């Protein structure tokens, strides 16, 4: 019969190993058993096979599950190997299991079934990381930090504000993963090879048995579509990219001893005894590259692929699973490194004021006093040049006064209170001034962290 023909076609030629996906299919072994069960139950309910036949198949499947993926004896893929194992146990009746389906709808269902669970794990990882970031952001909401643009000192900020920025990005990652989940969570089963089936299958029933939230309607689309892999891997790659940015910020801060990683998240040198290196975060940085590569591999494989099923697809979904396996531990390590890090408050406060980083606040103050912002900007730019870097607050103040004498018609004190101007040159006061919604001032941060915690609880 058909089985004999199939087995002969997959009989140990030189391409046998090349063709087989059995090893990589371990990832979908449990999924395939679930799909087999749902399909068998549906076939019996629809009267396509008898209840007795279904019982025999289900009994054999329980046996195959107990023996495990490792006990499967060769085969082109996990679907064929499980069918062979079922037939070995119960005889030809086991071959009824594959009535009204194809490995094309079967494998698509298995991938979606497994990826669903992986995406939920990824969502959990983002929730835990957000929780960790918010906790440290809260604890360090008044800890000064240098804020950079172009990696040049820009404005003083706080460790809390900086970490909450990453929490915001990870919150969107949670949303992207959940969006991807919604479209992954549709059943292709019953689409058969691509062209549907003459049997009276109940696709809604198998979808419900497998916990899917509806169908991939068109049977050709069901067997062929892999855009759900792009969405899932895209969400994972984006998440990994955010972690890599945070990791890089840490590496830069550690380079300047602004933060020290806990020993658990650091490594040393085999020759240089004094070294404490941020290896975990460098690996996090690299994971973003792996995930981007996985996404690119999926895009490249799918580009120009005709409908319906093509065997190329066998090599596509493993990239999504690779991304899951790379990104999830990276998210956990990132959260752990942030939670256990030791912030060097004195060094951070000193760094926060470097490069006349309070200059914007001074210009803002002049603008509040009626000086057109562009004039204030030019005035403070001249003062910064005059004061040089590094410069003490007194020198900066004197430089602003001198520049104001040249740029303004009236005395400086007509525009700003000298005490306020002095305060604006202090990094902590400079941060406190920026209390606009979402800004780093402590009160603004309190409201921001409350909203972020609320959104996290809702996710
Ligand atoms: N192992 C195959 C895959 O992953 C299963 C589908 C095989 N279908 C086929 N027509 N050869 O895509």
Q: Ligand 1 centre and the CA of 311: distance in Å?
A: 6
pTM of the model as a whole:
0.95
Nearest CA to ligand 1 atom 4: 314
Same domain, 245 and 117: yes
Mean pLDDT of the chain: 96
Same domain, 305 and 188: yes
Q: Is 238 exposed, middle or buried (0-12, 13-18, 19+ CB in 10 A)?
A: buried
Same domain, 176 and 92: no
In a domain, 171, yes or no: yes
CATH code assigned at 297: 1.20.200.10
Same domain, 17 and 92: yes
pLDDT tens digit sequence for 100-121: 999 999 999 999 999 999 999 9
Question: DSSP character for 261?
Answer: -
- Out of 15, 103, 114, 320, mutate this one to test ligand 1's pocket (max ligand atoms within 8 Å of CB): namely 103
In a domain, 272, yes or no: yes
State the closest ligand 1 atom to the C-alpha of 107, by its place in the atom list counted from 1. Answer: 5
Burial per residue of 296-332, b for 16 or more beta-carbon CB atoms within 10 angstroms, e otherwise:
ebbeebbeeeeebbeeebbebbbbbbbbbebbbebbb
Contact 354, 256 (CB under 8 A): no
**Mean pLDDT of the region 319-324:** 98
Residue 1: pLDDT band (50, 70, 90) is: very low
Known active-site residue 150: yes
Same domain, 379 and 331: no
**How many structural domains does the chain have?**
3
Nearest CA to ligand 1 atom 12: 314
In the block, which residue shows the tokens 């082109």? Answer: 76
Same domain, 61 and 111: no
Same domain, 336 and 380: no
In a domain, 151, yes or no: no
pLDDT tens digit sequence for 296-311: 999 999 999 999 999 9
Same domain, 294 and 431: no
11, 242, 267, 269: the active-site residue: 269
Vertex 441: Cα angle to 440 and 445 (nearest 5)? 70
Domain end position, chosen among 284, 310, 344:
344
CATH code assigned at 33: 1.10.275.10
State the closest ligand 1 atom to the C-alpha of 313, by its place in the atom list counted from 1. Answer: 12
Q: Which domain holds residue 173?
A: 105-146+159-199+212-344
Domain end position, chosen among 99, 114, 133:
99
Rounded Cα distance between 262 and 101, Å, is 54
pLDDT tens digit sequence for 12-47: 688 888 999 999 999 999 999 999 999 999 999 999
**Mean pLDDT of the region 89-106:** 98
55, 79, 150, 219: the active-site residue: 150
Do you find a cis peptide bond into 390, omega within 30 degrees of 0?
yes
ipTM for this model: 0.97
Residue list, ligand 1 pocket, CB within 6 Å: 21, 77, 103-104, 107, 309, 311, 313-314
pLDDT tens digit sequence for 345-354: 999 999 999 9
Q: Ligand 1 centre and the CA of 104: distance in Å?
A: 6
Same domain, 139 and 77: no
State the closest ligand 1 atom to the C-alpha of 21, by its place in the atom list counted from 1. Answer: 1
Rounded Cα distance between 157 and 146, Å, is 6
Same domain, 91 and 137: no
In a domain, 206, yes or no: no
Domain end position, chosen among 344, 364, 379:
344
pLDDT tens digit sequence for 199-237: 999 999 999 999 999 999 999 999 999 999 999 999 999
In a domain, 153, yes or no: no
Nearest CA to ligand 1 atom 10: 104
Do you find a cis peptide bond into 308, omega within 30 degrees of 0?
yes
Residue in 380, 393, 388, 384 with CA at minimum distance from that of residue 349: 393
Same domain, 113 and 253: yes
State the closest ligand 1 atom to the C-alpha of 111, by its place in the atom list counted from 1. Answer: 4
In a domain, 152, yes or no: no
Rounded Cα distance between 120 and 126, Å, is 10
Same domain, 193 and 310: yes
pLDDT at 450 over 60: yes
In a domain, 281, yes or no: yes
pLDDT at 2 over 50: no
In a domain, 231, yes or no: yes
């Amino acid at each position: 019969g058909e089985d004999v023909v199939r087995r002969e076609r997959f009989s140990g030629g030189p391409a046998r190993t090349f063709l087989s996906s059995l090893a990589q299919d371990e990832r979908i072994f449990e999924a395939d058993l679930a799909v087999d069960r749902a399909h068998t139950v549906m076939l019996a309910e629809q009267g396509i096979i008898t209840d007795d036949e279904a019982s025999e198949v289900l009994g054999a499947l329980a046996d195959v599950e107990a023996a495990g993926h490792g006990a499967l004896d060769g085969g082109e893929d996990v679907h064929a190997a499980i069918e062979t194992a079922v037939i070995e146990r119960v005889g030809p009746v086991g071959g009824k299991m594959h009535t009204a389906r194809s490995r094309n709808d079967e494998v698509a269902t298995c991938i979606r079934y497994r990826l669903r669970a992986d995406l939920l794990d990824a969502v959990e990882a983002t929730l835990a990381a957000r929780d960790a970031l918010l906790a440290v952001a809260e604890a360090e909401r008044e800890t000064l930090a240098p804020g950079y643009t172009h990696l040049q000192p820009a404005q003083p900020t706080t460790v809390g504000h900086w970490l909450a920025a990453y929490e915001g990005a990870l919150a969107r990652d949670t949303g992207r993963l959940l969006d991807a989940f919604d479209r992954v969570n549709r059943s292709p089963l019953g689409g058969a090879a691509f062209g549907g089936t003459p049997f009276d299958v109940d696709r809604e029933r198998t979808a419900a048995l497998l916990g899917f939230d509806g169908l991939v309607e068109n049977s050709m689309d069901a067997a062929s579509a892999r855009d759900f892999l792009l969405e899932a891997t895209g969400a994972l790659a984006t998440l990994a990219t955010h972690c890599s940015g945070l990791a890089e910020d840490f590496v830069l801060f550690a380079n300047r001893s602004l933060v020290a990683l806990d020993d658990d998240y650091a490594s040393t040198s085999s020759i240089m005894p004094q070294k404490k290196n941020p290896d975990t975060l460098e690996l996090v940085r690299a994971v973003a590259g792996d995930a981007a590569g996985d996404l690119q591999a999926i895009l490249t494989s799918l580009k120009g692929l005709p409908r319906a099923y093509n065997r190329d697809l066998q090599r596509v979904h493993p990239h999504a699973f690779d991304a899951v396996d790379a990104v999830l531990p990276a998210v956990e390590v990132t959260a752990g490194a942030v939670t256990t890090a030791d912030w060097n408050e004195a060094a951070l406060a000193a760094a926060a004021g470097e490069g006349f980083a309070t200059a914007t606040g001074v210009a803002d103050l002049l603008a509040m006093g009626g000086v057109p912002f562009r004039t204030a900007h030019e005035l403070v730019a001249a003062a910064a040049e005059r004061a040089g870097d590094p410069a003490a607050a007194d020198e900066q103040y004197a430089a602003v006064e001198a520049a104001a004498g040249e740029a303004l018609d009236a005395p400086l004190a007509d525009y700003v209170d000298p005490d306020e101007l002095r305060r604006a040159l202090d990094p902590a006061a400079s941060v406190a001034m920026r209390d606009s919604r979402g800004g780093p001032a402590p009160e603004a941060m309190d409201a921001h962290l409350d909203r972020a915690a609320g959104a996290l609880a809702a996710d």
